[in-house]
Structure 1
């Protein structure tokens, strides 16, 4: 790995390194804090919010407790499916939200998790649409915690998860959302995972690919301008 070069370096540094995804424009941490409290309650995690701990520290403690719980044999109650995915969607950190997605994937299966994320993208609030786009990336994680399961009748996670179908549905919904929804955070969060090649879509959506590229290139937001150039060159 030490001798590897990034694609951008191999292109002669013609483009700068990827910009970090900006924080949400109008962040309200109260809903996420409630999500954290729900995760702790529903999964009976052994963690408490001590006096003086800030929201960031509280989030880190809950994520750590969840990761610890995932290392042991556990049956997650049905209620935890929505609680975990809501926490993933409302977690504004595009790296730390992984832990909520991974727990849900391993307990409830990829098909169900991806289906719910598509629902958030299609019918959620703008905050939820942006959050679903941040969290979608982690739905491709391998199922590495066989000791986790959903409480109730046993369900096999070995069944086909229809990944190709779910990915196609997500990409088509995301393309439409990027073009039609002017909310900045929604567009910022969708673009990094959005294929910008016509072959990724049915013919009736090909015109939206060019429209998406034009929107990003002409947008006053520096992140969208920067990101689209990487993706059309990729």
Structure 2
């Protein structure tokens, strides 16, 4: 699926990517596409409406939690925090388990400052959207949805990807979710996966 996403990015954005890339080598092809996108962002890059969907899909399906930033950042600068975070929230709530895990990985980068001044949405002469400076937009909604998903979804990768960004203290949630926070902590502390057990130790306050 990631290879298809990369092909969509190249075609939709008209990126100049060397044609000798191995079509079945996701790592190499991904490297070349990301590099071409990075170069395009240094110039004046105008993102069409279809570009939003293909870049978000690439960010979600990119399994590398560091390199997926290169798909998130252009749409963040062009379309604003609310649009990007709403899309990731939709993936978390209604996507497949791989999409939910990918959305959690991509969410980390949705708080980036808007520094790509030459990237904008088609039909717009300003960077981002009116709410672009509000870095807290949709954070509460994400945290609540992520908490519910962590507790209810036993898929290992989903839990691994959600946990690092999940607040695990009751005051971060409405009173009605406090019991769910405690349930999440119990699940993490007793989980058979060593990473989850180790991670929760550093996230629980007190």
Aligned pairs for 1:118-197 (under 5 A) are: 118-154=89-125, 157=128, 159-161=130-132, 162-197=134-169
Larger Rg: 1
**Does residue 94 in structure 1 map to residue 62 in structure 2?**
no
Residue 13 of structure 2 corresponds to residue 43 of structure 1: yes
Does 102-111 or 42-51 show the bigger shift?
42-51
Number of aligned residues: 204
In structure 2, the residue matched to 1:204 is 176
Equivalent pair of 1:120/1:129 in contact (CA under 8 Å): yes
More contact order relative to length (CA 8 Å, sep ≥ 6): 1
Q: TM-score, normalised by structure 2?
A: 0.94
- Unaligned stretches of 5+ in structure 1? 1-30
| Consecutive unaligned residues in structure 2, runs of 5 or more | none
Counterparts of 1:121 and 1:102, CA distance in 2: 19
Cα gap change, 1:51/1:200 in structure 2, threshold over 3 Å: closer, same or farther?
A: closer
Change (3 A) 1:209 1:130: same
Secondary structure of the equivalent of 2:201?
Answer: helix
1:61-72 equivalences in 2 (<5 Å): 61-72=32-43
How far apart, in 2, do the equivalents of 1:174 and 1:145 lie? 29
- Residue 153 (structure 1) shift: 4.7
Contact 2:143 2:166 in 1 (8 A): yes
* Conserved 8 A contact 1:40-1:47: yes
**For 2:11 and 2:181, how far apart are their aligned partners in 1?**
43
TM-superposed CA distance for 1:49, in Å, is 4.1
For the 8 Å contact 2:2–2:26, the answer to whether it is kept is no
Distance 2:169 2:28 in 1: 41
Q: 1:210 to 1:105 in 2, by over 3 A?
A: same
Report the CA distance between 1:191 and its aligned residue.
0.1
Partner of 2:204: helix, strand, or coil? helix
Residues 81-111 of structure 1, C-alpha deviation per residue, up to 9 Å, x if partnerless? Answer: 0000000000000000000000111111111
